[in-house]
Amino acid sequence: MELYILLIFMIFAAFVAIEMKDLFSSVIAMGAVGFALCLAFLIVKAPDLAITQLVVEILCLIILIRATMNKDLPLVIEGRWVFNTMATLIFAGVFLFFSYWALKELPNFGEPLMTVVRKYMEEGADKTGSVNLVTGVVLDFRAYDTLGEAAALFAAVIGIVTVLRKTGSKSHDK
Amino acid sequence: MINNSKSGMSLIVRTVTGLVVCFIMLFGIYIILHGHLSPGGGFAGGVMVALSFVLLVLVFGKDANATRISKNLASNLDSIGALMFLGIALLGFAQGAFFRNILGKGSHFDLFSAGTIPLSNIAIGLKVAVGLFAIFLALVILEKFKEGQ
Amino acid sequence: MGLYFLCIILFCVGLYGVLRKRNIVKIIIGLVIMNYSISLFFVLLGYKFHGRAPIESQNQTIANMVDPLPQALVLTSIVISLAVMALLIAIAIRIYERYGTFDITKIKRLRG
C-alpha cells in the first residue's frame, strides 16, 4: 500500500519536473523523485540501494544545480505543438498497451521464482565469507559485472575531463 | 584550514564545515571497510568520501584549494583504483581462475574475514570517490577558467 | 501487476520528456527519471512478502530473504547512471557556451 502511494507521488513529481517552466524548479522536483525512490528501496528491503541512492541523489543535485544556475531559457511555443504532442502520446500509449501484455506473463508481486538465488543464499555466506549477500554477489559471484562497471566509470571520467578541458575552448574565438 | 580568501561562504559556515567534514569522511571510510558485514560497500562509501571533498570545495571556494588534490593527482588515483581492482582479479590466477577468492575466509562477523572482498571494496571505493571528485573538479575548473577571461 | 504497471507509467513520463521537450536539461531529467523507474522495477521483481533484508545476522537460520541478485545488479547501475548524467551535463555546458542556448532546435551551425 505504501508502495502505491510512493509510486503515484513519484509519477506526479516526475510530471511536474518535466512540465515546469523554471529549470531550477524542475531540478528540485527531480530530487523529489529520487528521494521517494530511496524510500521505496527501504520499503522493499534493500538497505544497500537506499544508502547508495541517497548519496548519489545529493551529488546529482549538486552537479545539476551548478550546471543550470543563472542559465534560464524562456519557453517558446513552437508551431507544430499539436502534432508533436499527439505523436508522443500515441507512442507512449502503444508502449503501455504492449507492456501490459508482457507484464501479465511475469510472476506475481511478492512471489519471485528465485531459481538461481536459492543456491547463492544457501552457500553464499560460507563460500565467500561475507555475511552481506549483496556484497558477496557483487564482488564474488558476479565480479565481472563490477569490473565492467569500473571500466564504464573510468570511460565516463575520461570523457568528462576531455570534453571540459581548457585547451578546447581556447582555440575558438568568437 | 580557515583562510581569508574572498570566494567561499561566510565565517560560520566555514567553521562548522571545518569541524564536521572529517566525520563525514570517517563515516564514508567506515562504510567502505564494513561493506561485507553491514549495508553499504564500496559504491556508497566512495560517494560519501567524494561528497566530503565536494563540500570542502563548495564552502572554501575554488581558489582556496583546501583539499590539496589537483586534477592530475585525481586522475592518477583513479587509475590506481582501477588497476588495483584488476590486480586483485588477476591474483586469482594463483589458484587457477579469474576472480578466485584465494585468501583465507576467516570466521563470520569478523572485520578481517571474507578473503579478497574487503580489498576489492577498498579498490572500488577509491575508484568511485576519486572519479566522482574528478568530475566535480573538472566542472569547477571550467567555471573558474570562464570567469578569468 | 499494478506496481509493475505504475513503474512502466513512470518510464513513459520520462520518455515523454525525452521525446517532447526541446531543452537539453529537460531531456537529461527525462533520462534520469527513466533510469529511476528501471531500477525500481528490477528491485520490485525480487521482493518477497514478509521477507528480510539479504544480510545474515548471528544465530539465524536461512529463511525468507528477499532476492539479492537484482539488488546487486541495480547497485552498479546507479553509480553508472550518475556518471552518464555528468557526461551529458558536460556536453550540455559545452553546447551552452558555444551556442548560447539550451534549445536543441537552435543548434544548426556546424562549427568545428
Chain A positions touching C54 (Cβ under 8 A) are 45, 121, 132-134
Q: Which residues of B touch C79 (CB under 8 A)?
A: 43, 47, 128
Q: For the residues B26-51, what does the mean pLDDT come to? A: 87
Q: Which residues contact A14 (CB under 8 A, 6 or more apart)?
A: A29, A30, A33, C10, C13, C14, C17, C33
The number of angstroms, rounded, from the C-alpha of C102 to the middle of its chain's C-alpha atoms is 22
Residue B108 lies in a domain: yes
B138 lies in some domain:
yes
> For residue B81, which residues of chain A lie inside 8 Å, CB to CB?
150
Q: How many residue contacts between A and C have a Cβ separation below 8 Å?
A: 238
What are B68-77's pLDDT values in tens digits?
667 778 788 8
What is the separation, in whole angstroms, between the first and last Cα of chain C? 50
How far apart CA A111 and CA B118 sit, in angstroms, is 33
- Cα separation, B84 vs A147, whole angstroms: 11
Which residue in A has a C-alpha nearest to residue C87's C-alpha?
A: A160
CA distance C98 to B87: 42
Which candidate from A59, A131, A139 shows the least CB-CB separation from B120?
Answer: A139
What would be the CATH architecture of the domain defined by C8-48+64-106?
Answer: Orthogonal Bundle (1.10)
Whether B6 shows a pLDDT value over 50: the answer reads yes
DSSP per-residue string spanning B86-128: HHHHHHGGGGTSTT---S----TT-SS-STTHHHHHHHHHHHH
| Contacts B138 to C, Cβ<8 Å | 90
What DSSP state is assigned to residue C67? P
For residue A66, the number of C-alpha atoms closer than 13 Å in the C-beta half-sphere is 22
DSSP state of B61: -
Q: Note whether B101 contacts A56, CB cutoff 8 Å.
A: no
Is residue B76 included in any domain, yes or no?
Answer: yes
Residue A155's nearest CA partner among B141, B85, C87, B72 is C87
pLDDT tens column, A70-125: 666 655 556 677 888 888 889 989 999 998 888 888 888 877 777 777 777 777 77
Predicted confidence at residue C95, as pLDDT, reads 83
Contact assessment for residue B82 and residue B126, using Cβ atoms and an 8 Å cutoff:
no
Q: Tens digits of per-residue pLDDT, A135-157? A: 888 888 888 888 888 888 889 88
CA distance B117 to C81: 24
User: Which site among C31, C71, C81 would you substitute to test the A interface, given the most A Cβ atoms closer than 10 Å to its Cβ?
Assistant: C71
pLDDT at position A13 over 60: yes
Task: Pull the grid cell for residue C77.
Answer: 547501475
Note the pLDDT tens digit of each residue in C38-74.
999 988 888 888 878 877 777 766 667 888 888 888 9
* Residue whose C-alpha cell is 570542502: B56
B3 within a domain of the structure (yes/no): no
> How far is Cα A111 from Cα A108, in angstroms, rounded to an integer?
6
Nearest CA in chain A to C58: A131
Tell me the C-alpha to C-alpha distance, in Å, between residue B66 and each of A49, B4, B22, B105, B137.
Answer: 31, 12, 13, 40, 13
Q: Is C106's Cβ below 8 Å from some Cβ in A? A: no
Domain spans of chain A, in order of start: 1-71, 115-165
The one-letter code for the residue type at B50 is A
- Euclidean distance between CA atoms A96 and A109, whole angstroms: 19
**Is the predicted pLDDT of residue B50 greater than 60, yes or no?**
yes
Say if CB C51 and CB C66 are below 8 A apart.
yes
Question: Is the separation of the CB atoms in C75 and A134 below 8 Å?
Answer: yes
Domain count along chain B: 1
B2 falls within a domain: no
Measuring CA to CA, how many Å separate C102 from each of A67, B42, B144, C33, C93? 11, 36, 21, 19, 9
Distance CA A127, CA A26 (A): 47
pLDDT exceeds 60 at position A26: yes
For residues A149 and C80, is the Cβ–Cβ distance under 8 A?
Answer: yes
